[in-house]
Structure 1
Amino acid sequence: MRSFRKFYQLIVDIPLKKSVVLNYRYEVKAVIGTGSYGIVYHCNDLKMNENIVIKQLRKSKRRSKKELKQFENEISILRMLNHRNIPKFHEKFSQDGNVYFVMDFIEGDNLEDHIFLNQLTFNEKESLYFLYKLVDLVCYLHEHDIFHQDLRIPNILLKNHQPILIDFGLSKMINSDNLAKESILQLKRQDFYDLGEILLYVLYTTYASKSKKALPWTEELSLEKETVHILKRLLSIQEPYSDIKEISMDLQAVLKSKNWN
């Protein structure tokens, strides 16, 4: 049954071809990426003569209440956001039974490609400063009761050395009045843990292994004690952070206190 489902998705979820025009306005230029429930296209807005991005709910998922709800949830979240480092929502439309939404096209490779294809590296100071800018973005989300829940290097673009946050497909939007404090704290800590993973990832871009044996990061990386403290709290090895502003303050303090080379 599982193999049939995969085969069905391969047949049904074939991406739109180049030059297809959607909603009498958007011409498909290329497929940017595919996810568990969506296909993302780079398009040309023929009316405004500008690049935009369109996300399509996979055909195989459009009858699934869960996947449709997830798709609509991402639209609801993007409608609420107005930040220069987050793609702006434009409109939602349907065509031939398929559901789409339009958002800004932001030029730039994701962080994963920068690291693996362009050999981008971060020393300790650069890693902390990068995380500080990313935390500022996540702080904006949390202030709007939105939790990304999928903070990973493929979901971060770089433009003029600034992080751009994309893909809100797994994000949660909450109302503090009807959600237990424990549940809100759990959502916060998932974002914090992801930030810790990202910090580790960029720190490892300058690491050269001297041993064939894999060791814990605490033994492989030579870091300032303040950086270790931040990492351990983000990763819940020590007392976890409970507020995003506390992370920002710790990062700001270590960046100012050290005489970095």
Structure 2
Amino acid sequence: MEARRLRYFVVLADELHFGRAAARLHIAQPALSQQIKALERRLGFALFDRDRRRVALTREGRALLPAAVQTSTQEQRLMVEAARIRDGEAGEVRVAFVGSALYGMLPDLLRHIRSAAPGLRLSVREMESDAQLEALRADDVDIGLVRPPLRHEPLDMLRLAEEELVAAVPYDHPLAGYEVIAPSSLADEPFVLFRPEIGTGFWTTVVQLCGEAGFAPRVEHYAEHVHTMIGMVASGLGITVVPASVRSLALAGVRYVGLSPTAARLGLAAVWDPTHGFPAKRRVIRMAGEVAGL
């Protein structure tokens, strides 16, 4: 049974006048009469008593009206929700992010989404860049926030930001008292870093930084998350290099020291598979560009 015909029934029951009901429904009066007759045939009983002077609900019509009102209301809610989904105002988006994005633009993006599209549901997971690409290909993630360059180029990418790098050293390290140092000052230091197969973009950028300064990093310890690396630095296991936004991770026992001008920058990009598109996903990508000022 078409919900549309039940809606016609509800409006006519309210007006008890075919002309006024047809005007409210924006259809011709004969069309309304035909639709009501078709509904009555489907139901097997008359809904209205009609004569030239009046239109009145039958006993059967009065009995059916509450259920018809409920169905009509549900239909209207359904159509409103469908419009929100079509416009990217509702739905679920699965977002993966590199851990260091927590100290950069990710909180701003989440606040912007909550303000501009509060009906969107976000499922957020921390995951390193190369793992995100695998998850995207497996359709386990809708959008990734990664650190380029990547081992395997994604299907689509929007570059969002680039950050300067800073050194993180133990609080009692000889370099801890400086505001800015030359990258070459780190040449003889033991490094704590991501494994290259886990964070390709991060690894490549740090190696570029060190290469510009004339040395290769001596990596003595590996970690899978930026906060783990900082914790290991606090424990005196070595030093590391992180994006400047990680300064907000003010862990006791760690000092952040600026690095003198270098061409090396750590980027942040949104990546996604355009063959798996839907409005909410496209809306989040647009909002990521807005937060980045693109």
Fold shared by both chains (TM-score > 0.5): no
Question: Structure 1-normalised TM-score?
Answer: 0.21
Structure ranking higher on relative contact order (CA contacts 8 Å, 6+ apart): 2
